[in-house]
Amino acid sequence: MPGFELFGDLERKEVNDVLDNGVLMRYGFDGMRKGHWKAKALETELKHTFKINHVQLVSSGTAAVSVALASAGVGAGDEVIMPTFTFVASFEAIMMLGAIPVLVDIDDTLTLDPKAVEEAITEKTKAVMIVQMCGSMGDMNALRNICTKHNLLFVEDACQAIGGTYEGKPLGSIADLGCFSFDFVKTITCGEGGAVITNKAEYYKNADHYSDHGHDHVGQDRGAETHPFLGYNFRLSELHAAVGLAQVKRLPEFLAIQKRNYTILRDALSQVPGVTFRRVPEGGEESYAFLNFFLPDLETAREVSTAFKNNGIDACFHYYDNNWHYIRKWDHLKNVKSLYPISKEVKQGLETLQNRKFEQSDHFIARNISCLIKLSWSEEEVSKRATNMVSCVQKALNN
């Protein structure tokens, strides 16, 4: 991770195909295309990859979450349960629909705690969205059972977890709807892009129409298409799809490199007393895009984070002090700072965040260091990195 580290001839060929025929839009212009339909081809490839019936490409991972929720009827006044540890896009995508993000604690998987989810359910709850941060998953069966018990929509934001599996199923394919991101720093990149995946034909049809201004895509005359309902523009271009088509074909290659590099680092750090690792639920396998480990306390984690930076160990994150990924620094959400008026229902739903504490989430995020696993590292570079990381951690633990 990320796929751009290994751009090559296959990506260039797919992009040149698009430039040669000159059609950059995924819909229409049939006669000019010379048989090239990159978005359609990528959707077909993703169906095979995720063992899923339906795939709808969209313009980003954020768009994927909004389109997925909208396709299942989530909207104004509905509550969507989500974790405290994620990217800001998660609550943005919910709020864009007029729905209310309800944040709850994570557990040692660094994803949703099923007990916290159960406690947060109200008569307004419409969906539960797990965010599979840093390449791994939560207790999927427990979360699925909660959603079934309460008749709730179950959504997977698997934007950071492409290639991970649970009980043999690809992450993203387990819930009612799955969401992926193909932005510039994901394992598979299009530069910008995303996808909604589902086995439910109704949700797919809705996503297909909704993401293209409500076009029904019936017939071969775009100007004659009808609009069964309102939609918006979340289309992915043929150029972006071309890059993604090449990248998805290389996913097994990328995952093998990630696993190799991850394993070298984890094996080294596992020898250090005081270092523990995130829990991966039984039956699950990470995508190996990140290595996440815990230190005894916040002070030690901060010391290690600083030592990594001072010793040239890049791409390691202490999310407790990060502005993008943890609720502690989301003042713009807590104070509802918006360029335009926010509905009364959403404002009221967010009021509790101003003074609410998430002590369980703090317990895990404060002690966590998350290390991006790069594809471009040689084995020698990874081994050297592992030695330096161990040295920094041991010094901090011995202070």
Within 270-353, where are the H helices?
298-310, 331-334, 344-350
Does the pLDDT at position 198 exceed 90? yes
Whole-number Å distance between alpha carbons of 64 and 177: 10
Which residue, chain included where needed, has tokens 């179950």? 154
pLDDT in the model for residue 147: 98
Note whether 210 and 71 are within 8 A (CB). Answer: yes
Angle at alpha carbon of residue 318, lines to 313 and 322, rounded to 5°:
120
CATH number of 3-250, picked from 3.40.50.1820, 3.30.460.10, 3.40.640.10, 3.40.50.10860: 3.40.640.10
pLDDT in the model for residue 284: 98
pLDDT in the model for residue 333: 98
What's the CATH architecture for 252-398?
Alpha-Beta Complex (3.90)
Does the pLDDT at position 397 exceed 90? yes
Reported pTM:
0.97
Q: Give residue 3's pLDDT band: very low, low, confident or very high (50, 70, 90).
A: confident
Q: Give residue 399's pLDDT band: very low, low, confident or very high (50, 70, 90).
A: confident
Within the chain, where are the H helices?
9-21, 38-50, 61-71, 89-95, 114-120, 140-149, 201-210, 238-249, 251-269, 298-310, 331-334, 344-350, 359-365, 379-398
Does the pLDDT at position 38 exceed 90? yes
Whole-number Å distance between alpha carbons of 89 and 324: 9
Give the residue among 161, 370, 384, 109 at the shortest CA–CA distance from 264.
Answer: 384
Q: Give residue 23's pLDDT band: very low, low, confident or very high (50, 70, 90).
A: very high
- For 137-162, the pLDDT digits (tens) are 999 999 999 999 999 999 999 999 99
pLDDT in the model for residue 262: 98
Does the pLDDT at position 269 exceed 90? yes
pLDDT in the model for residue 153: 99
Helix (H/G/I), strand (E/B), else coil: 237: coil
pLDDT in the model for residue 362: 98
Q: Give residue limits of the domains in the chain.
A: 3-250, 252-398
The stretch 117-141 carries a mean pLDDT of 98
Does the pLDDT at position 13 exceed 90? yes
pLDDT in the model for residue 224: 95
Does the pLDDT at position 258 exceed 90? yes
pLDDT in the model for residue 82: 98
**DSSP state string for 87-150:** -THHHHHHHTTT-EEEEE-B-TTSSB-HHHHHHH--TTEEEEEEE-GGG----HHHHHHHHHHT
- For 295-322, the pLDDT digits (tens) are 999 999 999 999 999 999 999 999 999 9
- For 217-242, the pLDDT digits (tens) are 999 899 999 999 999 999 999 999 99
